[in-house]
């Protein structure tokens, strides 16, 4: 075997089956290198260029996005506000229906306790307490104040002691407010075990609806315990959803209940301050609403809902009205058109007699 064949045999033996013959390419000439470089350059010139955004283009995009975001926000804020108001209006309607069920079962709407407190003049205090006792005789005809044995000089004191006995000395109704009355009549008593913001319905015992033990009646409204707030002496009030505290605190003003008094309209007696007992001129003050007498911008001829009641919510801003503006807030524009005598704080107030916020409502619509 000559040398040439020996080299070929040796090379074939070193390569395994399926192995490609990796022949070393011959050296390229200078002209070939130049030609290939020119071809590659031509390809690069024909490819689409990729350049970054300029600063002006980026700023234009940012401005457009900002404008769109502003438009969306401007449209979303009123929609969110309307949705939150709708939730409150729906709950006011549920409370209104609960009061109707109460009336069907207990003959009449419950009193609002306005004027029963010790700080009122005797004529106002005695009339308010007599109204509560009169209602108890109709609603619970077998109940006699003093049944718990707590004693007392008169029927009002004995009634107060019955409630104290039934709540383990927790609830004192002597200073009950119209906001607390709503929870008391529809939800019942504060739990006597001292647990926070828990209500138990009135007792099923017809002789003592305020008894601590025994079976219970069904409540007329299921209050969300997370929105119950104690205003003092075991009296709970009910906060609407989405309402702000005017002072930025955790306790927004509650729903307020006013029982109409046979067309008698005296907001100096029927009123509610929040926080409870506050007398600061900037405190938020709630009074019932009446219609102006024809031709007289001061005198009031009738309530709104003169034979039933009013439920008032402060609106999303947390203001019923300012105490310093009491005279302005007593009366609403005559001929059913609200707005003329409303203060800015009252514009968004929500009630059971208005279709939406007071500032947007017309009785004739």
**DSSP letter for each residue of 69-130:** HHHHHHHHHHHHHHHHHHHHHHHHHHHHHHHHHHHHHHSSPPP--TT-STTS-HHHHHHHHH
Token pair belonging to 342: 């409303």
Give, to the nearest 10 degrees, the angle between helix 122-139 and helix 155-166: 60
Query: In this predicted structure, what is the pLDDT of residue 31?
Result: 63
Q: What is the pLDDT at residue 27?
A: 55
Residue 106 exposed, middle or buried by CB count within 10 Å (0-12, 13-18, 19+): middle
Q: What is the pLDDT of residues 333-352, one digit of tens each?
A: 433 444 456 778 888 999 99
Q: What pLDDT score was predicted for residue 335?
A: 38
**Quick one: pLDDT at residue 283?**
75
Note the pLDDT of residue 19.
47
Model pLDDT, residue 48:
56
Look at the block and give the residue holding tokens 């607390």: 180
Q: Which of 187, 174, 129 lies closest to 155, judged by CA?
A: 129
Judge contact between 185 and 163, C-beta under 8 A: no
Q: Report pLDDT for 323.
A: 66
Neighbours of 293 (CB within 10 A): 14
Looking at residue 70, what is its pLDDT? 82
pLDDT tens digits, residue range 55-65? 888 888 899 99
pLDDT tens across 207-240, in order?
Answer: 999 999 899 999 999 999 999 998 888 899 999 9
Residue 312's CB is within 10 A of a number of other CB atoms, namely: 29
Low-confidence ranges of the chain (pLDDT < 50): 1-24, 295-298, 326-339, 364-365
Which pTM value belongs to this model? 0.77
């Amino acid at each position: 075997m000559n040398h040439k064949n020996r080299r070929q045999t040796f090379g074939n033996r070193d390569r395994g089956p399926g192995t490609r013959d990796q022949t070393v390419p011959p050296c390229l000439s200078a002209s070939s290198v130049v030609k290939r470089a020119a071809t590659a350059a031509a390809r690069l010139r024909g490819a689409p260029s990729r350049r970054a955004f300029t600063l002006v283009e980026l700023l234009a995009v940012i401005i457009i996005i900002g404008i769109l975001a502003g438009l969306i926000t401007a449209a979303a804020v009123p929609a969110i506000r309307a949705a939150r108001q709708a939730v409150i209006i729906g709950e006011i309607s549920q409370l209104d229906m609960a009061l109707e069920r109460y009336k069907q079962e207990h003959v009449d709407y419950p009193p609002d306790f306005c004027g029963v407190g010790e700080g009122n003049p005797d004529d106002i205090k005695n009339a308010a307490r007599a109204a509560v006792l009169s209602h108890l005789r109709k609603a619970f005809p077998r109940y006699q104040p003093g049944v718990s044995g707590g004693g007392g000089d008169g029927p009002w004191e004995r009634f107060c002691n019955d409630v104290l006995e039934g709540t383990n000395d927790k609830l004192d109704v002597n200073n009950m407010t119209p906001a607390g009355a709503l929870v008391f009549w529809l939800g019942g008593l504060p739990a006597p075990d001292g647990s926070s913001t828990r209500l138990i319905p009135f007792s099923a015992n017809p002789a003592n609806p305020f008894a601590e033990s025994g079976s219970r009646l069904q409540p007329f409204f299921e209050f969300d315990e997370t929105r119950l707030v104690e205003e003092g002496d075991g009296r709970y009030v009910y906060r609407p959803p989405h309402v702000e505290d005017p002072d930025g605190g955790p306790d927004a003003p509650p729903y307020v209940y006013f029982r109409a008094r046979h067309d008698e309209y005296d907001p100096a007696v029927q009123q509610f301050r929040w926080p409870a007992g506050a007398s600061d001129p900037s405190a938020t003050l709630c009074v019932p609403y009446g219609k102006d007498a024809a031709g007289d911008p001061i005198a009031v001829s009738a309530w709104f809902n003169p034979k039933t009641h009013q439920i008032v919510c402060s609106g999303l801003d947390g203001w019923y009205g300012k105490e310093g503006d009491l005279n302005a807030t007593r009366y609403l524009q005559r001929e059913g058109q609200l707005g003329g005598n409303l203060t800015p704080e009252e514009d968004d107030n929500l009630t059971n007699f208005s279709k939406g916020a007071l500032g947007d409502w017309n009785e004739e619509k």
